[in-house]
Each structure stands twice: as C-alpha cells, then as structure tokens.
C-alpha cells in the first residue's frame, strides 16, 4: 500500500480532519465536517483490505492475527492511560464514561452503548469497534474465491444495514449502522483498481474535487441527512478519484505527507488525550483566545505524530515477528471481537 501514495496522503488528511473537528467542537468552532475523516478512514479501510489480499492469498487466522497485532496493543495502551486520566482528572475528560464494565468492554471492542451508539473509554475508539467487526467479516470471506468473496462481503454488509431497519437495540442496533456500507464502498473501489480500470486524469480529479465539494455543501444544506449519504458517498468519490488520478499520472511521494499517513493511526488514537493536556498547557501559558485553537491543533498533531515514532513504530517492530507465524491462539483472539475494527 505504500506504493499508492494518494492513499497514504488521504489517511493523514482523515486523521487531521478528526483532530480539527474535536478541537473545533471544544472551542465552539464551525468545523463539523471534520468528523467526515472517520468516513474517509472507513472507505480507505475497505480499499486497503481488498487490494492487499486479493492477489496475496492469506488464511483467515493469519489475517486476523495480523490485524490484532497491528491495532490492539496501541489501542490498549491509550485506553488504559485514558482510564487513568479519567480516574484522576474526570473534569478534564467530560463525556467519557469510566466503569469496570466499560473498561473491560472497551478493551474487547464491546463498550457500553448510549442512545444506540458505542461509547468506549477512548471516545473516538468507537470507530475501531466497527473496524474489528469488519476484519472478522473480511477474515471469514477469505475462505472463498475472489468473485464469491466480493459478493459475500457486499451482501453481508448490506444485510447488516437491512437488519438495522428492524429497530434493534443495544449492540445489534450499533453494529448494524448504515455506516458499515462505507467499508463496502472501499471494497468496490479496490476491486475496480485491481481489475486495472483506468480513468482519464481530468475525470479522476473531477471525482476528487466533486467529493470534497459535496462534503462541504451537503453538510451546509442538510446536516441531518443520513451520514452514509452525507459523508460516505463523497468519501468514496475522493478515494476513487485519488487512486485513479495517481494511476493516470504517477508521482513521486513527498516524505512529510507519507509520514503523516504512516502516523495516522497514532494521531487518531492519541489525539483526544493529547488535546486535553495541550489545552491545559496553552491556557496556563496565557495564549490569547484567538490563537488558542490553532496552537492546540498544531502542538497536538505534532505530539501525536511524535508518539508514532516513540511508541507505535517501535511497538510494531517488536511485535512484527508475531505476524510471520501462524499463532495457535489466533482463533481465541478472534473470538474477542465477535461483533467489532
């Protein structure tokens, strides 16, 4: 995936968007559309999972083990640190829910639900619960051939959304959210990519521009439109346009943008905790109110990206040998997330 530079850039952009959304929310700003970074992540996830497996057969057990090793350790670290922060300074983490049940549930990607939504200790971790669910579904699809796998994935994800119409409650309601169709959208783009579909550069760039315009315009005109339509479809257009534009006009990567793409997971999982700390420091330093949001954003992104180098990258390097072997305990690990990243 490092060879598709536009995907790396979009991963960084998605992480930045979510960070700016939370900071804007904190300071009463207008950047609600920044939350669409999550939808962009979901489309990218579907694309990556399809592209990295279709020509490189991997058994479900090994696939799931790799995803667990990649996602879980860092998420557990951030969850435990966030739990400690909530315990000692709950006033700084308003809206977070810490209880023994939610701490254990969050670590297993089955947090408590509130109003039909997942509410883990790491508040932005709700997206990882959907990612784990998608990984489980995708792992099982690896038992099938390419055509059958594609049909099964689209069919299962669509069926989940149909079930949502039955007015389910609890986990059933949460994990059948229409947002899961964004994974399917990414899979569709990935399949077209692997079939060597090509678009003219102008058309591909038009999809990118059109996608970003739709993100902004639809949010302004109808903020109550279902999320999968309001942000999911534009995100699909952005991803599709970006990868096909790169195919039409390959380019040399920019190291900084590639770095932020690599660091996007760290930026995403760390940023809420980091923003709280940085905000406190900024306020203590007496930074003028007009400069506070930008200051918090720049410092928080820099620190979160730095934590990629300090924590995630060494941790991944330490655990990488585990992904090269077929663990006897992988099936048990899969059962940790029967309905969940």
pLDDT digits (tens, 9 = 90+) for 246-291: 999 999 999 999 999 999 999 999 999 999 999 999 999 999 999 9
Query: Which letter does DSSP use for residue 229 in this model?
Result: I
pLDDT at 339 over 50: no
Q: What is the pLDDT of residue 218?
A: 94
Averaged over 224-245, what is the pLDDT?
Answer: 97
Please give the angle made by the CA atoms of 217, 222 and 226, to the nearest 5 degrees.
110
Average pLDDT over the chain, rounded to an integer: 92
pTM, two decimals, is 0.92
- Specify the higher pLDDT residue, 160 or 328: 160
Percent of the chain with pLDDT over 70: 94
Q: What is the pLDDT of residue 1?
A: 56
- Specify the higher pLDDT residue, 329 or 77: 77
Model confidence at 323, pLDDT cuts 50, 70, 90, reads confident
Q: What is the pLDDT of residue 329?
A: 40
Q: Which of 14-28, 161-175, 202-216, 283-297 has the lowest mean pLDDT?
A: 161-175
For the chain, the maximum distance between any two Cα atoms, rounded to a whole number of angstroms, is 61
Model confidence at 197, pLDDT cuts 50, 70, 90, reads very high
Q: What is the DSSP string of 230-256?
A: IIIHHHHHHHHHHHHHHHHS--PPPHH
Distance CA 182, CA 217 (A): 20
Q: What is the pLDDT of residue 337?
A: 33
Query: Which letter does DSSP use for residue 339 in this model?
Result: T
Q: What is the pLDDT of residue 217?
A: 95
């Amino acid at each position: 995936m490092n060879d598709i530079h536009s995907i790396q850039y979009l991963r960084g952009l998605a992480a930045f968007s979510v960070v700016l959304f939370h900071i804007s929310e904190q300071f009463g700003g207008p950047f609600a559309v920044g939350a669409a970074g999550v939808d962009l992540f979901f489309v990218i996830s579907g694309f990556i999972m399809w592209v990295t497996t279709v020509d490189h057969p991997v058994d479900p057990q090994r696939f799931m083990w790799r995803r667990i090793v990649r996602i879980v350790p860092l998420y557990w670290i951030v969850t435990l640190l966030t739990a400690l922060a909530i315990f000692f300074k709950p006033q700084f983490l308003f809206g977070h829910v810490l209880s023994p049940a939610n701490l254990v549930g969050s670590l297993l990607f089955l947090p408590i639900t509130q109003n039909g939504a997942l509410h883990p200790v790491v508040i932005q971790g709700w997206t990882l619960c959907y990612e784990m669910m998608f990984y489980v579904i995708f792992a099982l699809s690896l038992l099938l051939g390419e055509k059958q796998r594609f049909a099964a994935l689209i069919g299962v994800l669509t069926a989940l959304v149909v079930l949502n119409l039955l007015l389910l409650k609890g986990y059933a309601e949460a994990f059948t959210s229409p947002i899961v169709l964004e994974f399917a959208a990414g899979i569709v783009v990935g399949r077209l990519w692997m079939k060597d579909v090509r678009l003219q550069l102008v058309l591909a760039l038009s999809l990118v521009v059109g996608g970003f315009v739709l993100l902004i315009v639809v949010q302004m005109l109808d903020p109550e439109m279902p999320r999968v339509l309001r942000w999911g479809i534009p995100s699909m257009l952005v991803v599709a346009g970006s990868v096909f534009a790169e195919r039409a006009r390959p380019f040399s990567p920019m190291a900084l943008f590639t770095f932020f793409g690599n660091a996007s997971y760290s930026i995403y999982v760390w940023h809420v905790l980091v923003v709280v700390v940085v905000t406190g420091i900024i306020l203590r330093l007496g930074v003028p109110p007009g400069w506070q949001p930008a200051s918090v954003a720049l410092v928080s992104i820099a620190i979160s990206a730095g934590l990629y180098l300090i924590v995630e990258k060494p941790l991944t390097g330490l655990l990488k040998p585990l992904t090269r072997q077929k663990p006897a305990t992988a099936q048990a690990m899969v059962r940790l997330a029967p309905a969940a990243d």
